[in-house]
């Protein structure tokens, strides 16, 4: 499989997670999706200016490569995980560390390949959680400080990125989590958001 920009732009989600080459996935995401700031416009009075930062550091958590989801990895430093995924850790290795990780998170491998379309609002819908954040239905969103979600449903599975505010920022968000077949968004309100442009971020901060 040739993972390139055209693939990301036209990917329909029709791929079995077992067929994904982890190193190729990370390389194409790093080249075309992560380490960018995405700018949006909205007709809403809530946020007229809106941007999302996706850094390489966010990718391991979106894949479920955290201590909570896979307690047997030799490191949980995001930059080292990214480096290992490019060079040493293939899918068989990740499964060998914790088979439960793959069972729980395999669809997120496909979801990561949807990030280009999600962040460009390509065949996607955007929702705000603000109408339910203080109700029983918004408990998870309130706990995780989720303000908005971007959702796509290309096949029989849906993919949603949940957005939290960047620390000390009013209108900059980052993808905090990636959900599969999330039913909670049905209670959220649709939000007007249009992609404007993006710019490359500075080199990843060392940790």
Residue range(s) defining the domain that contains residue 170 = 5-200
- Calculate mean pLDDT across residues 162-167: 96
Interhelix angle 78-87/22-32, rounded to 10 degrees, is: 120
Question: Tokens standing for 106?
Answer: 């395999």
10-65 per-position pLDDT tens digit: 999 999 999 999 999 999 999 999 999 999 999 888 787 889 999 999 999 999 99
Q: Residue 207's pLDDT band (boundaries 50, 70, 90)?
A: very low
95 within a domain of the structure (yes/no) = yes
Q: Say if strands 159-165 and 172-180 run parallel, antiparallel, or are unpaired.
A: antiparallel
3-state secondary structure of 128: strand
206 within a domain of the structure (yes/no) = no
205 within a domain of the structure (yes/no) = no
Quote the number of domains for the chain.
1
Nearest C-alpha neighbor of 27 from the set 109, 92, 83, 101 = 83
Residue 57 is classified by DSSP as G
Question: Tokens standing for 146?
Answer: 């989720």
98-157 per-position pLDDT tens digit: 989 999 999 999 999 999 999 999 999 999 999 999 999 999 999 999 999 999 999 889
Quote the mean pLDDT of the chain: 93
Q: Say if strands 194-200 and 125-128 run parallel, antiparallel, or are unpaired.
A: unpaired
207 within a domain of the structure (yes/no) = no
pLDDT at residue 205 is higher than 90: no
**What is the spatial distance between Cα 82 and Cα 96, in angstroms, rounded to a whole number?**
18
Q: pTM (2 decimals)?
A: 0.93
Whether residue 163 contacts residue 147, with contact meaning beta carbons closer than 8 Å, is answered with yes
147 within a domain of the structure (yes/no) = yes
pLDDT at residue 206 is higher than 50: no
168 within a domain of the structure (yes/no) = yes
- Calculate mean pLDDT across residues 148-176: 94
Instruction: Classify the phi-psi angles of 90: left when phi > 0, otherwise alpha if psi is within -120 to 50, otherwise beta.
Output: beta
């Amino acid at each position: 499989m040739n993972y390139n920009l055209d693939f990301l732009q036209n990917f329909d989600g029709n791929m079995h997670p077992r067929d994904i080459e982890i190193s190729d996935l990370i390389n194409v995401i790093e080249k075309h999706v992560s380490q960018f700031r995405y700018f949006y416009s909205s007709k809403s009075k809530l946020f007229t200016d809106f941007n999302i930062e996706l850094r390489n550091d966010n990718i391991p958590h979106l894949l479920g490569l955290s201590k909570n989801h896979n307690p047997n990895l030799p490191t949980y430093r995001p930059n080292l995980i990214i480096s290992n995924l490019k060079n040493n850790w293939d899918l068989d290795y990740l499964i060998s560390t914790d088979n439960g990780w793959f069972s729980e998170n395999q669809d997120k491998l496909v979801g990561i390949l949807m990030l280009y379309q999600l962040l460009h609002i390509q065949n996607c819908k955007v929702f705000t959680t603000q109408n339910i954040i203080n109700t029983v239905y918004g408990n998870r969103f309130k706990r995780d400080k989720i303000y908005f979600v971007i959702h796509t449903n290309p096949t029989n599975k849906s993919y949603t990125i949940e957005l939290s505010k960047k620390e000390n920022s009013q209108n900059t968000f980052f993808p905090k989590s990636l959900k599969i077949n999330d039913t909670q968004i049905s209670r959220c309100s649709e939000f007007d958001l249009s992609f404007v442009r993006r710019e490359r971020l500075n080199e990843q901060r060392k940790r």
